[in-house]
Amino acid sequence: MEFVISGLSGSMAAAFVSYNRLLGLSIGWMHYAMTQLSLEKTLKEFQYQ
């Protein structure tokens, strides 16, 4: 029974990863977050000058 559950979990994980890569959801979010952090850093540097 454990083999079936682990196989099912592995299949679900592979499906989620494929779905995510197809739509690019996490990559888009990471680019958004990195840009936000960069802009905040630039703004703070500008305010200190």
For the stretch 10-21, pLDDT in tens is: 787 788 777 777
State the pTM of this model.
0.50
Ranges of each domain in the chain? 2-48
What is the C-alpha separation between 45 and 14, in angstroms, rounded?
Answer: 43
Residue of 29 and 6 predicted with greater confidence: 29
Average confidence (pLDDT) over 18-39: 81
pLDDT of residue 6: 63
pLDDT of residue 16: 77
Tell me the C-alpha to C-alpha distance, in Å, between residue 9 and each of 1, 21, 23. Answer: 12, 18, 21
Report residue 3 as tokens.
């083999």
pLDDT of 7 above 80: no
